[in-house]
Structures are given as C-alpha cells and as structure tokens.
Amino acid sequence: MSSVEVPSYVPGHGLLAGRAAVVTAAAGTGIGGATARRFLEEGAHLVLGDAHERRLAQTVDALAGEFGADRVTGTPCDVTDEHQVAGLLDLAEARHGPLDVLVNNAGLGGTAELADMTDEQWHRVLETTLTGTFRCTRAALRRMRAHGRGGVVVNNASVAGWRAQRGQAHYAAAKAGVMALTRCAALEAADFHVRVNAVAPSLAAHPHLAKVTTPALLEELTAREAFGRAAEPWEVANVVVFLASDYSSYMTGETVSVSSRHP
C-alpha cells in the first residue's frame, strides 16, 4: 500500500444493534457525520444534534432516506444551552427508549497567539469544547444512572491535548480538559455500569479544513503523518464504534489516539 492510499471502507457488523444513541455536532461531512453513518450501519437507533439547523436537516433527511425515518432523527442543539441539551436527550428517549450511548462530538477551534488572545476567544472555545462536553455528559449520566441499564459515553478529544501547537492554547487546553473529564467521569460512572472513554484524532480530512487553517500549516501537518495523509473521518468513527460497542467492555477512562502523527 502506498503512503497515501486510503484503505477500503469497513462494512457494518451489527455491533450496535438496537442501541439508542445520540451524537452531537453530527451534521455535515466531518467526524460527527461519519460517526452517525457508522452507528446506523452498525444497527443503532439514532438522534442527531447540531447547532447548524439547515445542515442538520439535510443530514437527517439523507440518512433517513437510506436507513429509515424510524431509525434516525435530529433536533437543533447548541451544547452551550442546557435546555437544548435536555431536549436532545428527551427526544432520544421518547423515540428509542433509555439512552445507551452518547457521543460528545461538539467542539470549536480557532487560531490566536496567546499574547493577543481575547477573553471572548478563550471563553468561546472553552464553553463549547469543554463545558459543552461536561454539560452533555452530566445529562446523560443522570439518565443512565436512573434507568440502571448501564451505557457508554464517548468524547471527542484531540492530540492537541497532548502536543503543543502555536495559536492553539485555548483549543489545546479545552481538549486536555476533555481528557481529564473523561478520566474522572469514568471513575464515578463505573458505580452504575457506565463506561466513559475518548478518542483523540490528529488530522482528519474535511472539506472545510482549509477554512480554519492555512495551506502551509495543512501541508506541514500532513507531512508529519506517518501514512502521508490525513485520516478519513470514517476511520476515526470506526474507533468510536469500537468504544461504544461491547468489544471495549473492560475499557473506561481511556483516551485512544487515532493518529499516525510523528512527535
């Protein structure tokens, strides 16, 4: 296999058959959208949340046409709003029964040197990426504890939580916080048989990637990947499926790097 060849897409194996799942920031063609598709291919019943209403409606319509409207729906959800988070989980349980899986994919980035960063830039990234993950996890754990069936939470972290990068102090701090939140939540949630893990992608291919980074930086980051390419979003989603499935039944509090990046 050449350094830039993408492997074949892996078909579903029913790993999440009958599970009731929620994925945040699931509209579009990024990791959230890929995770939604993979969950449906693995048999889950799904409710999607996203702050972008038009894009969410398009995503839900497309997936419902392919997998059935009885298996997938969505509702606008801004994870900075506790009432919208509650509404998302309420919809999931009303349609599909007790919540089995939550995927916290919502996050927000940006680029600013720390000396020039404003309070607004800092708080905006932290509020969505870290506090939003906390808010959704808290809501899910309360429900999972109440229904007593166990469950799974999978958080989207980032290798930025481990590795320094200029202009990313707010994003890196938020993602490092997601990793720490994952570990602490896992310890507490084990009391009621809920597992909490995270994935830490490096560079994932996305049509809008060029809008949030410079071509020179994108070229540099790609060159540092061992396979000489960015990950496909579905390659990250495959690891989310693994963490959500019974194949990871004895894993909790872990952050799994989905990366081929050199130090």
- pLDDT value at 242 more than 90: yes
- The amino acid that residue 178 corresponds to is V
Given this model, what pLDDT does residue 2 score?
A: 43
- The span from the CA of 180 to the CA of 2, in Å, is 37
- pLDDT value at 1 more than 50: no
> In the structure encoding, which two tokens stand for residue 35, read together?
């995770």
- The kind and range of the H/E element at 165 are none
> In the structure encoding, which two tokens stand for residue 223, read together?
């060159």
Mean pLDDT across the chain, nearest whole number?
93
Helix (H, G, I), strand (E, B) or coil at 122: helix
Using pLDDT thresholds of 50, 70 and 90, give the confidence band for residue 213: low
Q: What is the CA radius of gyration of the chain?
A: 18
- The amino acid that residue 231 corresponds to is A
Conformational region of residue 193, where left means phi above 0, alpha means psi within -120 to 50, and beta covers everything else: left
Asked whether 112 and 170 are in contact (CB, 8 A), the reply is yes
Q: Which of 4-18, 41-55, 88-102, 223-237 has the lowest mean pLDDT?
A: 223-237
Q: Position of tokens 């599970």?
A: 19
Nearest 10 degrees: Cα torsion 129, 135, 139, 141: 70
pLDDT one-digit tens code per residue, 218-230: 777 787 788 888 8
Quickly count: other Cβ atoms within 10 Å of residue 78's Cβ. 17
Quickly count: other Cβ atoms within 10 Å of residue 225's Cβ. 18
Nearest to 77 by CA among 111, 102, 97: 102
Helix (H, G, I), strand (E, B) or coil at 197: strand
- The span from the CA of 5 to the CA of 53, in Å, is 34
Answer yes or no: 250 catalytic: no
pTM for the complete prediction?
0.94
Bridge partners of residue 23, in order along the sequence: 48, 103
Given this model, what pLDDT does residue 202 score?
A: 86
